[in-house]
Amino acid sequence: MARLFGTDGVRGLANKDVTAELALQLSVAVAHELGSSGTSYGGRRAAAVVGRDPRASGEFLSAAVMAGFASAGVDVLDAGVLPTPAIAYLTARMNAEMGAVLSASHNAMPDNGIKFFAEGGHKLADAIEDAITERLNNDWERPTGVGVGRIRPFPQGADFYMEHLLDSVPGRLDGLHVVIDAAHGAASHVGPEVFRRAGATVDTIGGDPDGLNINDGYGSTHLHRLQQAVVDRGADVGFAFDGDADRCLAVDADGRTVDGDQIMAILAVDMKERGTLTGNMLVATVMSNLGLLQAMAREGIEVVQTAVGDRYVLEAMRAQGYTLGGEQSGHVIMLDHGTTGDGVLTALAIARRVRAAGRPLSELAAVMTRLPQVLVNVKGVDKTRVDDDEIVQADVAAVSAELDGSGRVLLRKSGTEPLVRVMVEADTAERAQQYADRLAAVVQSRLAL
């Protein structure tokens, strides 16, 4: 049986893969798995915080999740449209045993997903997700009368979240001109508003969600409109979120992209200077650009690399108490201030660094030089053999030797498809493409199904 939970919750085509029935059953199972300590806070029963992004299917799916929680005897705070990290924060702030977000992140509008949080706003461990799956469709004794949960609106959640952001990143942004691309998503209100409260001059694009337009040509996967807006409006910096605002990419005053690796480099140097970078350690994934590792070595900062996925970054951070980690895609985790990637928090931290340093973002981002990176997806192959095939591994070793420290090679198996990803970094784009094509041809010839 295929695993129900993916790397970030349950996700698929709304009303086909992710249905109201599944949402209700999952929330009942989550309530039973996480709500057993419902008397741990002053004798009250278990509580949940629920939020969603603006996509249309989130309306009926969030209703189903809240119905499932309440039918299992859990009191529900309905926070409405808010970013995923806001729900994680509010789950912890309200001492709730669980939280849920209806979002498919950067996916197109027809998709949706369900992410659950445990007590403290933490993502669920694999073992907990498996236990929840086993509980689906189990017989259970349904509470009645005063035993059923109550569902109450929680409009103050947005203000609580914004207060948390401003407390986490102190310092005014007066005089800074910012463009926010909210992807017509969950941060369409709180993203621009928190920057205004911090004193910045704010222009907004992609900030008019109608339930159908989320991620449609806007946001962190479609930067061209933000790049143009920053240049046309003479702004100092631009920030783009994805649909649920757990990731952020930036644009400098000249319209150049500042990716997640560069953002982590800027924040790591800043935190080291302020003494808040625990152990002078940064946690990144194996997909982070070699330029990040080289830059951090120059700055006296060590980089721990994990498997791809912000959950693995977070696991490494929590295990060792590290305070900064993230991914090239713009998921950045500041563990002193949140339990998950937070795009708005990341944007505020970068803006504060620009304002406090009195230097443009382009100059701060120059702390690292991105090596040209080429990624080739080789489809229709037996990915299980890639690590053991002697010819493939010999050619990987040969290319690595030819790069001689000026680049690197990485072969990754897809988690969901018969596909191998060939990633090559080199000192020039031409060399990177040449080596990637060479390795992809070897993988295809050796492992074709």
DSSP 140: -
Give the fold, CATH level 3, of 373-447: TATA-Binding Protein (3.30.310)
* 10-155 is classed CATH 3.20.20.80: no
CA separation, residue 354 to residues 299, 330, 365 (Å): 19, 18, 10
Instruction: Name the phi and psi angles at 217, rounded to 5.
Output: 80, 5
Q: Would you place residue 43 in the very low, low, confident or very high pLDDT band (cuts 50, 70, 90)?
A: low
Strand partners, 151: 76
**Active site members:** 105
Q: Is the pLDDT of residue 2 over 80?
A: no
Q: What are phi and psi of 247, to 5 degrees?
A: -135, 160
Q: How many residues does the chain have?
A: 449
Class of domain 160-365: alpha beta
The domain spans of the chain are 10-155, 160-365, 373-447
Beta bridge pairs of residue 20: none
Angle between helices 57-71 and 20-34 (to 10 degrees): 40
Q: What is the pLDDT of residues 345-383, one digit of tens each?
A: 999 999 999 999 999 999 999 999 999 999 999 999 999
pLDDT cut 70: percent of the chain above it: 97
* Within this chain, domains 10-155 and 373-447 share the same CATH topology: no
Q: What does the alpha-carbon distance between residue 414 and residue 393 come to, in Å, rounded to a whole number? A: 18
Q: What is the pLDDT of residues 44-69, one digit of tens each?
A: 789 999 999 999 999 999 999 999 99
Mean pLDDT for all residues in the chain: 94
Q: CA-CA distance, 425 to 296, in Å (whole number)?
A: 17
Q: Rounding to the nearest 10 degrees, give the CA dihedral for residues 79, 81, 86, 91.
A: 30
Which residue is associated with the tokens 């070897």? 442
| pTM of structure | 0.92
Least Cα distance to 50 among 32, 67, 72 occurs for 67
Is residue 36's pLDDT more than 70? no
